[in-house]
Amino acid sequence: MESCDPVGTPMEIRDKLDVYQNRTIVDTTKYRSMIGAIMYLTSSRQDIVYATCLCSRYQAKPTEKHLKEVKRIFRYLRGTVNTGLWYTKDSGFELTGFSDADYAGCKDTFKSTFGGAQFLGEKLVSWSSKKQDCTVLSTVEAEYVSLSAYYAQVLWMRTQLTDYGFHFNKIPIYCDSKSAIAISCNPVQHLRIKHTVVRYHFIKEHVEKGTIELYFVKTDYQLADLFTKSIPVD
């Protein structure tokens, strides 16, 4: 891959992977080794997280199509070797979060993918992209489940920072679904999510306590968007 041609994005926008594509199985050991290498890089390259996590779902029986997508990530890295995170010392220390989700993006299970990003001031310090462990019935439910799952990560970070003497309340979390925010802020059980597993409702309790505050952000300004889907160069 050292002499490969660079590409502008880690994954094509319209590419959707599934278990049965091409059906020609490739070397599983090689595929897993390549996934392991780029998975290591995701600790400092948030721009390849979604593509890497998507390709890692097919390590059991990878096909030529899956291998092609993994190689595309390497081609993208080849052209962005100087890209990285820059942390300045004077950008504040306020804990802020962004939560987002797609809807039924997985072609195999029709489960949604949620993503989250946490900032201390203007510094991106934590991020994630993961397939939800339940099947949802609407985009609103996908966003609501994403908020709850993501807040668990924020709560962990809040606890860790408390040990170092930093105390945070009314942590702002931004979501691009007004309906999901309304449900989270409504103490009354909502008809649209009565079937949702109870453990996802704990976010309501923390909204009532004032631990977090939910804000709407337009999709164009949703910083967690790149953890749920492929995005264009611009």
Mean pLDDT of the chain: 88
Q: How confident is the model at residue 190 (pLDDT cuts 50, 70, 90)?
A: low
Q: Which residues pair with 10 in a beta bridge?
A: none
Is the pLDDT at 68 greater than 90? The verdict is: yes
Instruction: List the domains of the chain with CATH numbers.
Output: 1-84 (no CATH), 95-227 (3.30.420.10)
Task: Name the 3-class secondary structure at 183.
Answer: helix
> 125 with 85: CB under 8 angstroms?
no
Please write the tens of the pLDDT for every residue from 75-119.
999 999 999 898 888 778 899 999 999 998 898 899 999 999 999
- Residue 199 is predicted with a pLDDT of 63
Q: Based on DSSP, count helices (H) and strands (E) in the chain, helices before strands.
A: 6, 5
Task: Kindly state the average pLDDT of the residues 189-201.
Answer: 61
d(CA 17, CA 147): 25
149 falls in which pLDDT band (50, 70, 90)?
confident
Report d(CA 184, CA 206) in Å as an integer.
9
Beta strand pairing call for 95-101 and 171-175? parallel
